[in-house]
Structure 1
């Protein structure tokens, strides 16, 4: 295992504690101007997201209306909108193909929205432990200086079996091995270059998660446009489910 990754895993609670984790449930507020562009301004300000740590599956409730929830899963990729009592309202298989030809300004329907937040939050809340999954490769690369600090970096390559923003991403860590930034290309947003910052780490049942995230446009030279975040994410609380609990 890469040396930096080993330190990062230990700092976030360790693989042994993660191995006992079945589910993660978080109260989140998702904002930013991108949602108005996509036709969903204010739709995600009070969400409960529950994810399965053993497979890529994420549920959001409420989802765009008080009586609805969304479920994203892979194997194959599928996004479903259901009523709270389980009646299927809409469903889409091979969901990523539905974004073909879409640009940053293209409006999304409810299934597009469910797909994006479904895979994105599963990746956010399972990292860095996700980097130990079969087929995922993580290696330290040269450090980066920003805000008067030097951050160590992991280049992570994901297999096709994991739905994520882009196959290759870079994760930045401070001297305490906490994630400060991640770089990726949002393929389903027309190939947008992104610098995604995170902070305010907190411990929940022995596992450490960032509770503050801000997403900015990234320049070709690696610098960021920090004037206005396109997406904001704030986490109020996280519950870790073990041994079949949630």
Structure 2
């Protein structure tokens, strides 16, 4: 927390993070990834289905254990994890603004909030990622 990252560390973090973001849920099919259905979660009047996923050490990711929340439409709404590279800070990571590419819906907006002990998200987000631009395939 007190030592600034060098450009190589920042590049590594952004690289694995974006790779994870753009390959989920296909990433769940990789060798060594395990999952189990968790208890349902209600937020903003919606019931979300939780999937608890464990990643092997061969996959660079924020945390080996993460919880993914899916709506009834099958789209990811949120993921929870403790950020290993940031002293285990608990976060609630929301996704939205889905855009469809060749039939695959991809979230283009991400907002990361600190997660409270009751599993709720803090009011203000600390990290935001917006994917914008012209897409061609």
Q: Which range, TM-score by smaller chain?
A: over 0.9
1:215 aligns with 2:77: no
| Secondary structure of the corresponding residue to residue 125 of structure 2 | coil
C-alpha distance in structure 1 between counterparts of 2:25 and 2:106, whole Å: 10
Partners of 1:221 and 1:108 in 2: CA distance: 31
The structure with higher relative contact order (CA 8 Å, sep 6+) is: 1
Q: Choose which of 128, 132, 135 in structure 2 pairs with 1:236.
A: 132
**TM-score normalised by length of structure 1:** 0.53
Q: Does residue 1:181 correspond to 2:78, yes or no? A: yes
For the pair shown, the structure with the greater C-alpha radius of gyration is 1
Q: CA RMSD in A?
A: 1.3
Cross-structure match for 1:99: none
Cα distance in 2 for residues equivalent to 1:180 and 1:208 = 12
Q: 2 CA distance for matches of 1:106 and 1:171?
A: 30
SS in 1 for 2:51: strand
Runs of 4+ in 1 over 3 A off after TM superposition: 237-240
CA shift for structure 1 position 106: 3.3
Q: Distance in 1 between matches of 2:105 and 2:46?
A: 22
Unaligned runs of 5+ in 1: 1-102, 241-246
The size of the alignment, in residue pairs, is 136
Cα distance in 1 for partners of 2:51, 2:66 equals 8
Please give the secondary structure, in 1, of the residue aligned with 2:5: coil
Instruction: Give the alignment's TM-score, normalised by structure 2.
Output: 0.93
Q: How far apart, in 2, do the equivalents of 1:156 and 1:106 lie?
A: 30
Partner of 1:114: 11
1:198 matched to which residue of 2? 95
> Distance between the aligned counterparts of 1:214 and 1:107, measured in 2?
22
What is the Cα deviation at residue 239 of structure 1?
A: 4.9
Mark the CA change 1:131 to 1:239 in structure 2 (over 3 Å): closer, same or farther: farther
Instruction: Structure 2 unaligned segments of length 5 or more: list them.
Output: none
